[in-house]
Amino acid sequence: MPIVDFWFEFASSYTYMAAMRVEAAAAERNVGIRWRPFLLGPIFASQGWNTSPFNLWPARGKYMWRDIARACAEYDLPFKRPPEFPQNSLIAARLALIGVTEGWVVPFAKAVYNAEFGEGRDISRLDSLGAILGSLGLDAASLLTRARTDDAIKSRLKASTEEAQSLGIFGSPSFVTEDNELFWGNDRLERALIWARQEA
């Protein structure tokens, strides 16, 4: 089965839709998905930006919120614009890396995105993340401590982000096939899967 790496940044609004759609779309085409958390902040910073281009470029940002509201209606996904954007996704991304190793990244990532963009909640808060972990039957206190203090996890997230940048990734969601073909954006999900299938 061909594998596509799904690179996701929790602060990204368009990635909410991709995260909710990727499993069914991949299963339909018999493609495997590897969930790859990373941070866009350091990639934006190397470009000289201190926030999302949606904030630096107001007309683009205004359009983004409208475009996402329309697309969520089309996909039948709940949508509530969170009061703050982008949200600090550092702890959520470290937790997701633990989830990759321990096998719960998919329900965790989907629950985080749903809280953030389906319910408009603040996923930078430890209590929000703890509630999500608890709802998945996980030991929230222990996981949050590891996510805040474990040097190995911190290093893994840095390495993942550097790997993303070296692959040419500049935004989220990004999809990378085994032959290193990059597809960017929720609306490129299907093309990435078709590419992976054709090259397999």
Tokens of 21: 């759609």
Q: Which lies closer to a second copy via its Cβ, residue 74 or residue 151?
A: 74
Q: Which lies closer to a second copy via its Cβ, residue 21 or residue 110?
A: 21
Please identify which residue in 1, 28, 51, 70 interacts with a second copy, judged by CB under 8 A.
70
Question: Taking every pair of C-alpha atoms in the chain, what is the biggest distance, in angstroms?
Answer: 44
Judged by phi (left if over 0) then psi (alpha if -120 to 50, else beta), residue 157 lies in alpha
Q: Is 82 in the site for a second copy (CB under 8 A)?
A: no
> Residues touching a second copy: how many (CB under 8 A)?
21
Q: Specify whether the CB–CB gap between 10 and 85 falls below 8 A.
A: no
Q: Where are the beta strands (DSSP E) in the chain?
A: 3-8, 32-37, 174-176, 182-184
Contact positions with a second copy (CB under 8 A) in 141-180: 165, 168-171
Q: Is 113 in the site for a second copy (CB under 8 A)?
A: no
* Neighbour count for residue 173 (Cβ, 10 Å): 27
The dihedral sign for the CA sequence 44, 53, 67, 124: positive
Find the length of the chain. Answer: 200
Tokens of 157: 């997230």
Please identify which residue in 66, 76, 180, 198 interacts with a second copy, judged by CB under 8 A.
66
- Calpha distance 154→151 (Å, rounded): 5
Q: Is 81 in the site for a second copy (CB under 8 A)?
A: no
Q: Is 65 in the site for a second copy (CB under 8 A)?
A: no
CB 53, min distance to a second copy, A: 8
Q: Is 60 in the site for a second copy (CB under 8 A)?
A: yes
Please identify which residue in 30, 51, 57, 159 interacts with a second copy, judged by CB under 8 A.
57
Positions touching a second copy (CB under 8 A) are: 43, 47, 57, 59-60, 62-63, 66-67, 70, 165, 168-171, 182-184, 187-188, 191
